[in-house]
Chain A
């Protein structure tokens, strides 16, 4: 074997040895049983002068075992080749070597939350995803988390409101109704409010139906009727998203001016908004509670609408992962908003006498207004007294 070595390799080895005799020799002594011809036993580390700088403990890169690329190493030569008793299987194709199998790759992808995707020759590019493990998480969200959060939020809010009604009863103006009214919301404001409200009710019910209907409504009315209801709900859900969003935009423009939080809101919150105790915190056109409702509607509704458009135009904005995420945002925010709006409906109807007038005729009783929006009444009356034609509200007397 020594004779088989080319002479230049021997020369190089001799040069390297002479330059860095110490290190190489130490390595030799530590790592390998002593051999008669060290330059033959270690043909690799001596390829260049730089290699010799490695300490005795370090293993040079070129000493790493090679990836099996070619044929397996030839067996040591024997005098007579044995006759194979069993057929020797062909080696796997090059591409298959050292690769994890399908189950392993699936497990890795599932643990990393990654998709296994490739190339596809049909026009539907989204079909190039072979396996998407995230579907399992989405299923968990839809079947468990959303059902629980939605159930607790909606039923919990109903329970809180029922409890509040039993304890506090209907809130009436302390001074009674005066009989004099003043305009709180004009026709545009009221019409827009009811457009958003009616859309929200249909959107909310058809949305709740998708999560809870299978468990609650389906056993009651049977599969055919339930499909008819759900299919109509889906169409309504898709179409009413547009007037709902338009209404949100108009609502924002109409009321944002009066909904900027300020110092008065802190006072209002400190006094419990008049719900707790008998104090009547002052407020301008909207108190802190109403401002909160405004921003819940605008921001929450905006996000619900945006995530909804991602879902109603599948694959236009995002891929499957984006749609799953959009559904999570959409579902969670929607059930929380439904809970919040239940409180809004309560206080605007049976919870407080006189409140509903603001959104029906637009004319609220003066005593109600003075109790809840004293500063706003002062502003309105000051405006009414001011000699500016046209600025006089219709109901201000």
Chain B
């Protein structure tokens, strides 16, 4: 099986936020929740670069390790998903996540967290594939339809790559070789204990 990963080529990202918008639209993500976001480092200074970031679907995912109710599971494609029927909204996965991926709707008392929501790699959840129940809880399931995540599919500069880790890494390496520079794969060391040549 494939080992699905995300790779953001920050030499190509132009901070258009189309990935963010596409994600919100595709999955009908509620107001206030961003499964994907674009962070600009060194804004306005030399070395400015933008990186589109969401759940990286880590190897040895910290969220799954700390979850008190053990609601996370990993698919055969190494996509990290969670069961919202089991999540209690404690917030532990947010403390542990290196990428700030887990999001919580504000519900009920205080700053109370509702059930956690995060990027599903467009792979839905434990419900029946592409059922209305799955769509309401997790959004569209493009993987079940044989498609890749929409954010990467519609990236105008093809900065955001999604797919099997080895394939997107080879695409990125080829780019770096052709243009002669690159700033590496953001988050790969943290998420996959792996680095790509800069």
Give A contacts to B, CB under 8 Å.
89-96, 99-104, 106-107, 110, 116-124, 126-133, 135-136, 138-139, 142-143, 209-211, 213-214, 218, 223-224, 226-227, 230-231, 234-235, 238-239, 311-316, 320, 323-324, 327
Contact = CB atoms under 8 A, between A and B. Distances in A.
Interface in B55-77: 62, 65-71
Interface of B: 10-11, 15, 17, 20, 32, 34, 37-43, 46-49, 51, 53, 62, 65-71, 83, 85-92, 94-100, 104, 109-113, 178-190, 195-196, 198
Given A93-B11, A103-B189, A214 B38 contact: no
Contacts of B182: 101
A226 to B, nearest CB: 6
Given A90-B179, A121-B17, A142-B66, A130 B184 contact: no
Given A90-B180, A102-B198, A230-B69, A129 B62 contact: no
Nearest to A211: B68
Interface centre among A119, A131, A143, A324 (most CB of B within 10 A): A131
Contacts of B43: 118-119
Given A138-B95, A227-B86, A92 B187 contact: no
Contact of B39 (A100, A120, A235): A120
Contact of B37 (A106, A110, A127): A127
A103 B186 CA distance: 7
Given A142-B92, A214-B69, A314 B188 contact: no
Contacts, number: 187
Given A89-B178, A101-B182, A223-B70, A96 B34 contact: no
A216 B28 CA distance: 37
B69 A103 contact: no
Nearest to B177: A89
Q: 10 closest pairs, A vs B, by CB?
A: A89-B180, A101-B198, A101-B184, A102-B184, A92-B181, A103-B195, A118-B41, A119-B43, A118-B39, A210-B68
A314 B91 contact: yes
Given A103-B184, A107-B189, A227-B85, A314 B196 contact: no
Nearest to B17: A121
A323 B67 CA distance: 16
Nearest to B11: A96
A124 B34 contact: yes
Interface centre among B39, B47, B49, B112 (most CB of A within 10 A): B39
